Amino acid sequence: MLNCFQNYLPVRIIFGANSLSQIGYHASLLGKKALIVTTGPYFEECGLINRIKKILAEADVTSCHYDAISPNPQYIEVDRCAAYAREQGVDLVIGLGGGSAMDAAKGVAVAVKHEGSIWDYIWWGKPDDRAPDPQKTLPIITVTTTSGTGSHVTPYSVLTNPETHEKPSVAADALFAKVAIVDPELMLTLPPKITASTGFDILFHSEEGYTSLTATPLTDLYNEKAIALVGQYLPRAVQDGSDIEARTALAFADTLAGFSLSVASITLNHALGHAIGGISNTSHGECLCATALRTMQHNSLAACEKYLRIGGLLTGQANASCIEETIQTVDRLLVQNGMKIKLSQLGIKTGDFSNILRSAKKYMGPSLEHNPRTIVDQEVIDILSKSM
Ligand code: NAD
């Protein structure tokens, strides 16, 4: 018998090669002037901004572009971009790029019409947190160009505070995009290193969502499929970035894992990954890879059957015969795709451990609460030590 569960995913998804050509029609239903947000000048230089502006203009939507956003976007960059959006009088925000650009765009959509800084709307898991008003938040279109974060379909905007080294999220239904364009042709230019690091983000969203205490029968379906697709297609996309079949499969896996992330909580590895990323400012995928094997080993004691299944899904065979086989499969995938990373290589020192633990508890509380195995401080410190 099925247990009770909720599922809320109000994003219209336009999936498939050349789906970008449909952005004009959808934008015209949502606004008259769009701000396109990117991280850096790459998309201007490769001609994509001009292409999008032309498609929008044909649908009577004018547009402007803002690119002063860093990977792992800082809240202050979002505030500055929101000031520009106000000056320009935009009524629609388009996030074009990976998780960083899409998260910044979602933050901007809130900050344009809300008082104060976007940082005032961070979700700390406290009853008096200020939540963005959905009526005031501008409509959002996400155009994803990486396959990893699921941000195109999630209600989160992950932001970094360089002063406090924290990396929490604004998290509210108001942040769901109205439309997500998932066009695998846009991912063909993604370099192998970013393909690999984002691909592992899919895997760990799925692995954590699958073993989370908040997993549902639907998220299990999303995650099983996503894990199998990553096992089959990630090495192909890393080896040959122009492999459109592999790019399409990963874009689908990313979307499925994003569905799960919107509904079922991620767990210990992501809680640590955010805290580590706040200190190291290295890529999200690298942070996750550094602690993944140890957190999986740790959690497998409490979710044995699901970890056996993960091993089987990754290799396209029956369940793994023991947990060690699953761990070795993930280890091989990390090595094969150049992502076997130690925490020390990300600049983390043993002196940072207590800060990582404190940050994880401060703003990733639900991820720790929904971890399949109860969190004990010393065990987390041991995981970090063994990941150095
Ligand atoms: P990213 O957005 O930081 O992009 C990495 C680099 O790749 C950038 O320099 C970008 O310009 C470049 N790039 C992107 N697409 C490209 C393409 N097609 N061709 C060439 N270059 C391209 O990387 P990401 O991993 O997608 O996003 C990471 C951010 O997302 C982190 O801040 C992470 O915390 C956040 N995140 C958000 C969610 C969410 O639900 N909102 C979930 C997980 C992670």
pLDDT in tens, 54-82: 999 999 999 999 999 999 999 999 999 99
What integer pLDDT is reported at residue 3 of this predicted model? 79
pLDDT at residue 1 greater than cutoff 80: no
Cα 3 to ligand 1 centre (Å): 35
The structure tokens listed for 157 are 């905007």
CA atoms within 13 A on the CB side of 331: 13
What integer pLDDT is reported at residue 227 of this predicted model? 98
Q: What is the pLDDT of residues 292-323, one digit of tens each?
A: 999 999 999 999 999 999 999 999 989 999 99
pLDDT at residue 125 greater than cutoff 90: no
Cα 46 to ligand 1 centre (Å): 17
pTM (2 d.p.): 0.97
Cβ(150) to ligand 1 under 6 A?
yes
Among protein residues, the one with the nearest Cα to ligand 1's atom 20 is 190
What integer pLDDT is reported at residue 126 of this predicted model? 86
Provide mean pLDDT across the span 116-134.
93
3-state DSSP assignment of residue 371: coil
pLDDT at residue 196 greater than cutoff 80: yes
What integer pLDDT is reported at residue 152 of this predicted model? 98
Cβ(187) to ligand 1 under 6 A?
yes
**Segment 333-338 long-range contacts (CB within 8 Å, at least 24 positions apart):** 333/203, 333/231, 333/234, 333/235, 334/200, 334/289, 334/292, 334/293, 336/235, 337/196, 337/199, 337/200, 337/234, 337/235, 337/238, 338/192, 338/193, 338/196, 338/238
Cβ(156) to ligand 1 under 6 A?
yes
Of the pLDDT bands very low, low, confident and very high (cuts 50, 70, 90), residue 127 is: confident
Provide mean pLDDT across the span 244-255.
98
Cβ(148) to ligand 1 under 6 A?
yes
Atom of ligand 1 nearest to the CA of 197: 25
Cα 336 to ligand 1 centre (Å): 22
pLDDT at residue 351 greater than cutoff 80: yes
Cβ(209) to ligand 1 under 6 A?
no
Among protein residues, the one with the nearest Cα to ligand 1's atom 2 is 98
What integer pLDDT is reported at residue 180 of this predicted model? 98
Atom of ligand 1 nearest to the CA of 191: 20
What integer pLDDT is reported at residue 339 of this predicted model? 98
Alpha-carbon span 21 to 345, nearest angstrom = 41
Burial of 127 (0-12, 13-18, 19+ CB in 10 A): exposed
Atom of ligand 1 nearest to the CA of 71: 3
How many other CB atoms sit within 10 Å of the CB of residue 210? 26
pLDDT at residue 2 greater than cutoff 90: no
Provide mean pLDDT across the span 172-198.
97
The structure tokens listed for 100 are 């960083």
pLDDT at residue 258 greater than cutoff 90: yes
